[in-house]
Structure 1
Amino acid sequence: MKARPAPNPKDTQADLASLADAFAALDDVGEVAAFLRDLCTPAELEAIADRWKVVPLLQQGVPYREIHERTGVSVTTTGRVARSLEHGHRGYAAAIARLATR
């Protein structure tokens, strides 16, 4: 297998900014969905969708085990999302706030 060089933190930040800019340039839900389908594997899309699916349940205070029973999303994934909601970069919060005003 081909060895990958260690990522340069500056390049990683620039790459993330470029990707975020691409998302921001899209005009509607259909374009974003098409971009996601082109960008991600089906497994990656499922993982991303699972994370987003548990956000409203966590906000409602639903216990992790019940979230798992309702959605099939693992307790581990639910815990990761909960940590991001509590201590992350406020990305979930920004998306939730935007959706609430639509």
Structure 2
Amino acid sequence: MDDKYLMLYEAFLTCESQDEIRVFLEDVCTYKEIEAMADRLWVARLLSAGYTYEHIEKMTSISSATISRVNRCLIKGNGGYRNVLEKSGTK
């Protein structure tokens, strides 16, 4: 694995609070990038709770393409969404 990716992963592990993660993300990412990540995680939670694409789209105004991508990751991905949702108690 490339050192630059390891450095990024390690940076998250050094954060000791939600506030530290927020500050780090605000420095590293644009507002839109943070929003896109938050949207995807929110969609993963809603899909895991049984909401339909149509309901999620109406509720959130998130595009069906994004909802579909997240659903594909939930079904055929590496388990990242499910792991985070389970650990956070929001599956």
Structure 1 length-normalised TM: 0.81
Aligned length: 90
**Could you list the runs of 4 or more consecutive aligned residues of structure 1 that deviate by over 4 angstroms after TM superposition?**
none
Q: Which residue of 1 aligns with 2:84?
A: 95
1:55-66 counterparts in 2 under 5 A? 55-66=44-55
Q: In structure 1, the residue corresponding to 2:62 is in which secondary structure?
A: coil
Instruction: Name the CA distance, whole Å, in 1 between partners of 2:7 and 2:77.
Output: 20
Instruction: Name the CA distance, whole Å, in 2 between partners of 1:15 and 1:78.
Output: 29
- What are structure 2's unaligned runs of at least 5 residues? none
Higher normalized contact order (CA 8 Å, seq sep 6+, divided by chain length): 2
Matched, 1:23 2:12: yes
- What are structure 1's unaligned runs of at least 5 residues? 1-9
Instruction: Name the CA distance, whole Å, in 2 between partners of 1:18 and 1:92.
Output: 21
1:58-83 per-residue CA deviation (whole Å, 9 max, x = no partner) reads 01221111101001111100110111
When Rg is computed on C-alpha atoms for both structures, the one with the higher figure is 1
Structure 2 length-normalised TM: 0.89
2:54 counterpart letter in structure 1: R
Percentage of identical aligned residues:
37
1:30-76 per-residue CA deviation (whole Å, 9 max, x = no partner) reads 00011111110111111111101111110122111110100111110
